[in-house]
């Protein structure tokens, strides 16, 4: 299988001058198409920073980073925006637009892709919501949904346009055990159906088993997990 994400000697700094602080150190990473990879590590180790770099939300500073066969280091803002359209995000907070219904929220991601405009957007969005088990709640506003349901809308939104990569940052952190489990299982199922790649940051030991592979990060470096018990 060919790698869909390749990082070589990727480093990242925050701040400037004497306040400069390095948070990522020479990251080497390959993720293959269709893989589900979990990234864990202590708080402040640089997981979110790595994820924002992979997603084109932050400009890469040094080393090399190739996503979908495109070099990200030194890429233009336009190129980054284009890249973002091929990546689905799931945030710790659901970040749904509060003034849009579940269906309209999902549509917002479809409308970025010209080829969907030829289709019945409402039908595509409704199907997607049904797939995450929200067929009955299509026209609800986020305020009328539970935390787990909102997170499922967020999953529907990020997967509706069939992105090649899904990046998820602690998607289950705000959910109870059962809803958290449901949410990742939905993600896993849809990803397998669509053949998309998932990189998931989590502290939640109970969901490690859905991954094909687990990465561990500490102090800005990828390393072997401290105890074998953590690995699936």
Ligand X SMILES: Nc1ncnc2c1ncn2[C@@H]1O[C@H](COP(=O)(O)OP(=O)(O)OP(=O)(O)O)[C@@H](O)[C@H]1O
46 binds ligand X (CB under 6 A): yes
- The mark string for 46-65 relative to Mg ion (x by CB under 5 A, - otherwise) is --x-----------------
Query: Residue 146 corresponds to which tokens in the numbers above?
Result: 């539970």
84 belongs to the binding site for another protein (CB under 8 A): yes
What is the Cα gyration radius of the chain? 18
121 contacts ligand X (rule: CB under 6 A): no
Gap between the Cα atoms of 180 and 171, Å rounded: 8
Whole-number Å distance between alpha carbons of 34 and 4: 9
Please, which of residues 112-171 interact with another protein by CB under 8 A? 112, 114, 117, 121, 169
Half-sphere exposure of 55 toward its Cβ, with a 13 Å CA cutoff?
Answer: 22
Measure the CA angle with vertex 125, ends 124 and 127; round to 5°.
Answer: 65
Minimum CB–partner distance for residue 72 and ligand X (Å): 17
Taking the least distance from each CB to ligand X, the nearer of 23 and 93 is 23
Which of 44, 135, 195, 226 touches ligand X by CB under 6 A? Answer: 44
Q: CA dist 164 to 4, 104, 133, 167, Å?
A: 9, 22, 22, 10
Which residues are near another protein by CB under 8 A? 48, 51-52, 55, 57-58, 81-82, 84-85, 89, 91-93, 95-100, 104, 107-109, 111-112, 114, 117, 121, 169
- Residue numbers of the site for ligand X (CB under 6 A)? 14-15, 23, 41, 43-49
């Amino acid at each position: 299988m060919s790698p869909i994400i390749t990082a070589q000697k990727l480093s990242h700094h925050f701040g400037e001058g004497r306040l400069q602080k390095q948070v990522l150190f020479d990251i080497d990473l390959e993720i293959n198409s269709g893989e589900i990879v979990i990234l864990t590590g202590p708080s402040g180790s640089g997981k979110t920073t790595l994820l924002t770099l992979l997603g084109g939300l932050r400009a890469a500073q040094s080393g090399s980073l190739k996503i979908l066969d495109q070099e990200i280091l030194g890429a233009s803002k336009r190129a980054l925006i284009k890249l973002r359209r091929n990546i689905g995000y799931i945030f710790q907070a659901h970040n749904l637009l509060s003034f849009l219904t579940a269906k309209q929220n999902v549509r917002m991601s479809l409308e970025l892709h010209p080829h969907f405009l030829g289709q019945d957007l409402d039908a595509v969005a409704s199907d997607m919501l049904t797939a995450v088990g929200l067929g009955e709640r299509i026209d609800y506003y986020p305020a009328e949904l539970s935390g787990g349901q909102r997170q499922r809308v967020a999953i529907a939104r990020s997967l509706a346009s069939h992105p090649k990569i899904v990046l998820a940052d602690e998607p289950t952190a705000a959910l109870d055990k059962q809803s958290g489990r449901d949410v990742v299982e939905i993600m896993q199922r849809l990803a397998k159906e669509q053949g998309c790649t998932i990189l998931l940051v989590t502290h939640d030991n109970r969901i490690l088993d859905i991954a094909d592979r687990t990465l561990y990060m500490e102090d800005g470096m990828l390393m072997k997990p401290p105890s074998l018990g953590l690995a699936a």
